[in-house]
Amino acid sequence: MGKKLSVPINTNDHDLKTYISKEVVKKIPVSYDSYGSIPIYDSYRKLCKLVGFDAINYPNFEYWYYRFYHGELNFDYDRRMDPVPKTIMDMPVRLMFNITENLDPVERFA
């Protein structure tokens, strides 16, 4: 049976970031040859099961996760000053065509 939380996690911004930072701490290696056993996406899914899938999206979770991982622990950081993250839809059409023309027919429709 799973371990129950004594106090339910809130979905406010501060509590979500606290949870993410604790997940990062779990992954800090004890030695150079040992690593955390839970992949980042599994940590995200675990959080979503606790608070719901609409509490935080994966790109936002990943952003805060890696920010905390690199020691930047300011919870009040204003992301509006950061450049807008690029997506695959921002890639020029010509570049997409160059990539897909090298795929075999099965890969093109997968």
Q: Mind listing the pLDDT tens digit for each residue in 55-104?
A: 888 888 888 888 888 888 888 888 888 888 888 888 899 988 888 888 88
Confidence of residue 27 (pLDDT cuts 50, 70, 90): low
Tell me the C-alpha distance between 14 and 91, whole Å.
Answer: 34
Tell me the C-alpha distance between 62 and 35, whole Å.
Answer: 18
Q: Give Cβ neighbours of residue 75 (< 8 Å, ≥ 6 apart).
A: 13, 14, 17, 18
Q: Determine the pLDDT at residue 92.
A: 92
Instruction: Select, from the ranges 1-5, 23-27, 43-47, 105-109, the one with the highest average predicted confidence (pLDDT).
Output: 43-47
Q: Determine the pLDDT at residue 75.
A: 80
Confidence of residue 37 (pLDDT cuts 50, 70, 90): low
Q: Tokens standing for 92?
A: 């020029």
Q: Tokens standing for 32?
A: 């150079």
pTM for the structure as a whole: 0.57
